A and B are shown apart, each in its own frame.
Chain A
C-alpha cells in the first residue's frame, strides 16, 4: 500500500486525531485509567507526527508493547466483563496503530475501529444528545476516509462533499430502518452490570439513599390531560409485604398476585404515556388508580390486583405504555386476605414494640391510628438526611429512639412496622415521588426521585397512602428531593453544580425543555421502534397487518430505494440540458430513423446529394428548399430561423406522407 503524500497525510492525521479524542471522551467511564492515558497520548503523538518529522518506531517495540497491553487486559478481564474488555482492547489497538500510522490502509483500519467504538458507545447510552455527538464523530470518520483520496480538492470542499454523500444515504437508511424486520436476539448477551439502575425488590433502610445519588433517567411521562400537582405524584412500583426486622421484601404470594379482573373505573382521570428506561425490575410505574390504555413496548404488560403495572420479561428494551389514572377512586380490592399485611418478626426492635404496646388505640379509626402513631415524628427532632448513620441491628429501634436521622426508607419502614404492631394491615411501597416539570406536558423522573412510603388498610376506604417523610421534610414532596437537601448533601448527587446552576436560569430552562421534548420523542420513535410499531404502520397503510401486506410493505420500500437511486444517478442534466435543438438536427435525426445516416465528415448538401437520388421529386423539392434555407441561415449571417423551421415542417410532412410507405431504402449507405 502506498504512503500518503505529505500534505494529505497532515490533514488526515489531524482529522483522525481529533476524531479519536472525540470518540474516546464519552467512553472514558468504561475504560481503564491507563487505557485512557494511552489513548490520549497516542492522539498527541499523532498530532506531533503530523507536523514534525519523527523517527518511526521500530516494529518490535510496538509488538512488545502490544503484547504487554494484551496481558494486562487479560488480567483485568474478569473485573470488567466481556464488553468493556472488548472496548478497552479496541481502544488499545487503535492507540497503538495511531502511533504508527503511515499508509492509507492504516487510516482505513483505524476508521473501521472508530466505527466499532461508536457503535459500542451506543450500547451504553442512546439518548439523542449522545446520538448527535456520535453522529458528529461518525461524520468525522467519513471525512477522514474521504480525505485519503480526495485529489486536489480543498479541505472544506471535501467536507462538504462528504456531508452530501452521507446525507444522500440518510433516506435509504430511514427506509431500511422502517422496513427491516426486527429479529429477536440471536443469543443472550452478557448484561451490562451497573448500567441499569432502578428500584430493587428488597428494601433495607438506607438502600434508596444510594439510589438517590444517581441522576440517571428513570422514566418520562407525557401527559395528555392535566398534570398532577407535585405532591400528588406518587409513582407506585413495588409493593413489599414481608418484613424480617431488617429488610422489606416481596413474598411469593405477593409476587403472584392475581391479575386484576373487571373493574369499573369512574371519576376524573389523568391520561399519560410512560416511557420507561430499561431497568432490572419487572415492575413499572403508575399513578393510582391505573388502567392500561395501550402498550407500545415490545413485551406485554399487565395490571395486577395491587394495581401494579408489570411486565413479565425483564429485558434491555424500554417499556412504553399509555395509562389512565383515576385519582379520585380508592385503592381497594376485596379478594385479598389481609393477614399477611400484619406479619411482623417474632423478635427484635423491642423498644418499638414496647412503645406501640404502651399506646391505646381503642375505638379509633384507621386514620386516627395513623396520625397518632405518626406523632412520634412530629414531636421528636427527626431529621431528613441522605447520610444516615449505619443501623445494622434493630434498625427501627435505633432510628426511632437513638439517631432520629434518616432517609425516606427509614421513615417508611418504621411507620409500616409500627402500624403492623398496632394491628393495622400495612405494607411498604417503593417507587418515585415527584419529578421535574419539563416542556409543559412532560414530567421527567430521575433515579434520585426514588421514594418509599406506606399503605395502610382501612375497612371502608381501602388502602390509604401515608408518607411519613412528608411530616419531617415537607419540601421533599413539594419541591422534590433536591430542595430538601442542604448544600453539602446536594453534592452527593453526581450532577455538576454548574449544570444545576445554569438550569436555574430561565433561558436554559426553556432550552432544556425543548431538548427534553426532543429526547422524549427520540426515545419514543427511534429507540422504541419495534415490530409492533412496524405492524402499526402496515396497518395504517394497508388496513390489515398480515403477512401479505408486510411483504408488500417490504417490496414498496425496495421499489422506493430503487427509485431513489434512479432519480439521483440518471443523467438528468444531460437530458434536460439547455442546448437548443436545431431544425437541421431534427431533420437529420428523422432521416437517420429512415435509414439514412450522415457520415461524420459530410456537409449538409453533400449528404442530401448522396441520398436524394432515392427519393421522389416532391420530397426532393422540400429537402432542397430546406437546404437552401439552411445555408442561408447558418452561413450567410441571416439570423432568422423562421423560414428554416417552415421548411422543416414541409420536409417532415413530405417524409411522413410518401416516402415511408413507398420505398424503403434497400441499401441506405451508398457511397
Chain B
C-alpha cells in the first residue's frame, strides 16, 4: 500500500517535473521552469529578522529595528538577484557515450552565461548528490564541466532528472530547475575474463575463419531478405533500393554457413548476466585482433563482420539483451531503483 502510494507520488512528481523542466539538453531557464525557495540559511535569517523585530520593538531600539529592516530588504533583493543570476545561464548537456557497467561515467556539459553577474556557483543535483560548479569570474565565457554519474548496471538507461541549482549572493535563496536528458545511456556488460571458456567451439572455429579469407563475393548470393538494423550496409541491395522496393539485404551462402559465431547458448550453464559478461570479453578480444565474427543471442543475430562499427553494434545488442527498451520508466531517483 505504502509502496503504491509512494509510486503514485513519484509519478505525479515526475509528471510535474517534466512539465516544468527545461526539458532538453540545451536548457534555458525562465520564469516558467524556475523555482525559488529560501534555503535553510535563508529560513534562519528570516527567523533572526523576526527575532530582531521583537527585540527591537520590546527594547524600543531603533538601531535594532533598522538592522532588522536592512535584513528584510537584503532578503527581498536576494530573491531577485538569485533569480536573475540563475536565469542568465544556459546549460547544454552532452550525450553520454556508451560505456561498460561499473565504470565511472562522466556527464559533460557547457554552461553559457551572459549578463550582469560574474562568478558564483551552480549546483547540479541528482540522486541525492550535489556537484558544485564554480563559475568563472568572466561573465561571458562559456565554461565546460564534468560531473560524476552514478554507476549503472548493464542496460539502456534514461539519465536521471538533473536539478540545476543556484544560491547566488549570500545563499539565502535556492533557485532551481530541472533538466531532463532526452538521450539514453547505453551500458554494456562489464567483461569477465574466463580462460576456461576460451577452449570452446567458438574459439576453435574462429581460427578457421581467420585462415580462410573472409571477403565474400557476390557470386555466392543465396537470396534476399528484408533489411534488419544489424546488417552491414554493404549487404544492402542498392538495385532494389533504387527501384523503390525498400531496403533489402543480400544473403550470402558463405557467410550464413560460416562458423565465426559467438553463441549465447554456449554459456547456458552460467547465469545470464555472467554469460553476457563472458561474451562481452570475447567480443572485445576478437575486436582487438580485428577478427571477423558474428553474434548469436538467440533472438537477435548479427552477421559476421569486423571493424569498430560492428563491435559497437554487438556491444549494443549485449546491452539491450533481455531488456524491453519501451518499458524503461524514468523516475526521479532513478539509479537506486534500476
Contacts and interface: CB of A to CB of B under 8 A. Distances in A.
Interface of A: 2, 5, 104-105, 108-109, 111-112, 115-116, 118-120, 122-123, 126, 131, 138, 142, 145-146, 148-154, 157-158, 161, 165-166, 168-173, 176-177, 180, 182-187, 189, 298, 315-317, 526-530, 561, 565, 568-569, 573
Contact of B67 (A118, A158, A527, A561): A118
Interface of B: 40-41, 44-45, 48, 51-52, 54-74, 76-78, 80-81, 84, 116, 118-121, 130, 132, 134-137, 167-171
A115 B71 contact: yes
A115 B48 contact: yes
Given A123-B59, A157-B119, 16 more contacts: A108-B171, A119-B52, A148-B171, A149-B121, A150-B119, A150-B121, A151-B120, A151-B135, A153-B120, A169-B70, A169-B76, A185-B59, A187-B58, A298-B60, A317-B60, A526-B62
Nearest to A188: B58
A180 B69 contact: yes
Contact of B169 (A122, A165, A183, A298): A165
B61 A126 contact: yes
Contacts of A185: 57-60
Most chain A CB neighbours (cut-off 10 Å) among B55, B59, B71 = B59
Contacts of B168: 149
Contacts of A145: 41, 170-171
A149 B133 CA distance: 10
20 contacts: A105-B40, A108-B40, A115-B67, A119-B48, A138-B67, A145-B170, A148-B171, A152-B135, A169-B70, A172-B73, A185-B57, A185-B60, A317-B60, A526-B66, A527-B62, A529-B62, A561-B76, A565-B77, A568-B80, A569-B84
Contact of A176 (B59, B69, B119): B69
A112 B42 CA distance: 10
Nearest to B129: A2
A126 B67 CA distance: 12
Q: Count chain B CB atoms within 10 A of each CB in A115, A154, A298 and give the residue with the most.
A: A115
B60 A123 contact: no
Contacts of A165: 74, 77-78, 81, 169-170
A173 B73 contact: yes
A122 B68 CA distance: 12
Contacts of A105: 40-41
A151 B137 contact: yes
Contacts of B60: 185, 298, 315-317, 530
5 nearest interchain CB pairs? A153-B119, A172-B73, A151-B119, A108-B41, A173-B70
B81 A153 contact: no
Contacts of B61: 122-123, 126, 316
Contacts of B169: 146, 165
A530 B118 CA distance: 41
Contacts of A154: 137
A569 B40 CA distance: 25
Contact of A186 (B57, B66, B84): B57
A149 B86 CA distance: 13
Contact of B130 (A2, A5, A184): A2
A189 B59 contact: yes
A152 B48 contact: no
A527 B64 CA distance: 10
Contacts of A569: 80, 84
Contacts of B135: 151-152
A568 B65 CA distance: 25
A527 B63 contact: yes
Nearest to B44: A112
A169 B74 contact: yes
B164 to A, nearest CB: 14
A116 B57 contact: no
A138 B64 CA distance: 12
Nearest to B170: A145
B119 A316 contact: no
Contacts of A173: 66, 69-70, 72-74
A108 B132 contact: no
Contacts of A150: 119-121, 134
B254 to A, nearest CB: 48
Contact of A112 (B48, B68, B69, B81): B48
A573 B84 CA distance: 14
A294 B119 CA distance: 55
A136 B73 CA distance: 18
B140 to A, nearest CB: 13
B81 A186 contact: no
Contacts of B171: 104, 108, 145, 148-149
A186 B64 contact: no
A2 B132 contact: yes
B134 A152 contact: yes
Contact of B73 (A153, A176, A526): A176
A108 B121 contact: no
Contacts of B67: 115, 118-119, 122, 138
A591 B58 CA distance: 65
Given A123-B59, A151-B136, A166 B74 contact: yes
A186 B58 contact: yes
B170 A142 contact: yes
A150 B77 CA distance: 17
B73 A149 contact: no
A116 B51 contact: yes
B36 to A, nearest CB: 14
Contacts of B68: 119
A565 B80 contact: yes
Nearest to A118: B67
Nearest to A154: B137
A152 B119 contact: yes
Most B CB within 10 A of own CB, among A109, A118, A150, A298: A150
B52, B71, B171: most-surrounded residue (chain A CB, <10 A) = B171
A177 B71 CA distance: 12
A289 B74 CA distance: 50
A2 B136 CA distance: 20
Contacts of A142: 74, 170
Contacts of A172: 69, 72-73, 76-77
A79 to B, nearest CB: 21
